[in-house]
A and B are shown apart, each in its own frame.
Chain A
Amino acid sequence: MTTTLHAARTTTAAALLAGMAAAPGPAMALVERLDDSASPSAQVRAQEDNTPITAPGPATSPIVRIDFGRVHYRLATARYVGRQARIYYVLPMGIPGLRSPAGLQVSWRTNGLFSSGSGRPGDRVPVWTGQVRDAWMTEALDLTWQVDSREVRLSRGMPLGFEAYFEIETLP
C-alpha cells in the first residue's frame, strides 16, 4: 500500500513538471514578472521642491512628501493574451538607506486601467484583474512617496530609490 502511494505521488509530480514546462499552460496559475523595459523612461527622478516658502517655525514634521508626477509603464503582455490574469504592483522589500518598511509609503493614482492604491516596501498590491486582450498594457501612475525621515539613513550624495515592478498571475 505504501509503495503504491509513493508511485502515485511520483506520477503526479512528473505530470506537474511536464505541465509547467509548457508554461504558460492553460491549466496552471503562474506568477511572472512583467517585462516593462519598453516603458518610456527607465529612470524617473523626483520632482523639484515646489512647496510654498513659509515663515520660520519651530515645529517641523518628520514626514516629507515627494512627488514624481506621472510615471509611465508599458507592459509586455503578448504572452498572456486571452488568459484570465491578475496583475500586482510589487514594491521591493530591501531599499538601501531605508531602515524599515514603515519609513516609506508609496501611493499612486492611476489613469483608468489599473486601480489606484498605496503600499509599503514588501507589499504586493493587486491592481488589475481580467482577461488580457492586448499585447501591450500601458498605464500612467501619479506617484507619491511619503517618507519618514527618521527611518532614512543615507550617506551624503546617495539617492533613495528602488525599482517597483508588476507581476502577472495567470489564472486557471
Chain B
Amino acid sequence: MSELLRAAVAVALLAGMAPRADAVFTYAPTSSAAYGITLQVGSAVAIDEVVFNATGTNAGLATGTAIAGSQPITIRVSPARPARLLVENRPVTLTATVPVGLTCTTAPTCSATVIPFNQISWVSTNATNPAEGDIQSGTFVGGSTQTLASFDGATATVLLVNGDTRFMSNTLNFRYANTTVYPAGSYSGTVRFTATML
C-alpha cells in the first residue's frame, strides 16, 4: 500500500467512514386503502329464516316454555381501515330495525293478528364484554331501532395492516316466549340489521 493510500485509509477511519454494512431495517407500514365496513347476518347469499314451531304439545297451550328457533344466526361486523400512524376514533354501531310485531300470513285463520316482537329473545354466544362490541343476550323491542352493539373500530392505537383485525362476531340463538295464546296460523316479521362506522 502506498503511503498516500495508507494515509487516505487512515483519514477515512478517523472520520468514521468504515465500509457500510447492510443493516436491519425496522418499519411500520402504512397504506392508502379505503375505510369500509362489512356486515354479514347469517348466510352470505340469502335472507335467513328462523322458524318457531308452536305445534303439537306447544300448540295453543302458551305454556311459557320457550320454543327454540330453527337455526342460530351468526352476525359479524368487520370494519376495514387503512394502515396508518394516526390516532383516531371510529365508532362502529350495530342496530336492529324491529317491526312492531309478526304479522299473520294465513288470513283465514289468524286474520290481522300481530304477535309482538318482544316475544322473541336471544342468547348470544361468546358475548364476553359489551365494551368490546359483543352482542349481549336480549329481547327485541318491537317498533324500534335497537342498538345491539357498539365498539371502536380504531381505538387509540395504530393499525398496521389493512383489513378487519378488529371485527366482532356473535352467534344468536333465538327463542319464542310462548306465553300468550294466539290464533293458529303462520306469522312472519323481518328484522333488518345495520352496521355503521363513523
Contact = CB atoms under 8 A, between A and B. Distances in A.
Interface in B145-163: 150-152, 155-161
A141 to B, nearest CB: 9
Given A53-B168, A56-B150, A143-B26, A47 B6 contact: no
Given A21-B6, A156-B82, A158-B30, A163 B157 contact: no
A37 B19 CA distance: 12
B111 interface: no
A162 B26 contact: yes
Contacts of B18: 32-33
A69 to B, nearest CB: 11
A32 B18 CA distance: 6
B133 interface: yes
A164 B27 CA distance: 11
A156 B32 contact: yes
Contacts of A76: 21
A72 to B, nearest CB: 8
A113 interface: no
Given A44-B24, A49-B159, A159-B29, A60 B88 contact: yes
B9 to A, nearest CB: 6
A61 B160 CA distance: 17
Nearest to B91: A56
B133 A53 contact: yes
B8 to A, nearest CB: 9
B47 interface: no
A153 B25 CA distance: 19
Contacts of A143: 26
Interface residue tally on A, bucketed by range: 35 or more
- Of A50, A58, A145, A156, which is in contact with the most chain B CB atoms at under 10 Å from its CB? A156
Contacts of A19: 10
Given A49-B158, A49-B159, A163 B168 contact: no
Contacts of B25: 42-44, 161-163
Nearest to B150: A56
Nearest to A92: B23
B113 to A, nearest CB: 40
- Of A17, A37, A68, A147, which is in contact with the most chain B CB atoms at under 10 Å from its CB? A17
Interface string A55-79: 1111111101110100101001000
B30 A149 contact: no
A34 B91 CA distance: 48
A164 B130 CA distance: 42
Interface string B5-25: 011011101101010111111
Contacts of A93: none
A172 to B, nearest CB: 15
A66 B23 contact: no
A49 B30 contact: no
A31 interface: yes
Contact of A51 (B22, B31, B157): B157
Given A46-B29, A51-B157, 6 more contacts: A54-B152, A60-B155, A64-B158, A71-B24, A162-B27, A165-B23
Interface of B: 1, 6-7, 9-11, 13-14, 16, 18, 20-32, 82, 84-89, 91-92, 130-133, 150-152, 155-161, 165-166, 168
Interface of A: 16-21, 23, 30-37, 39, 41-62, 64-66, 68, 71, 73, 76, 143, 145, 147, 149, 152, 154, 156-165
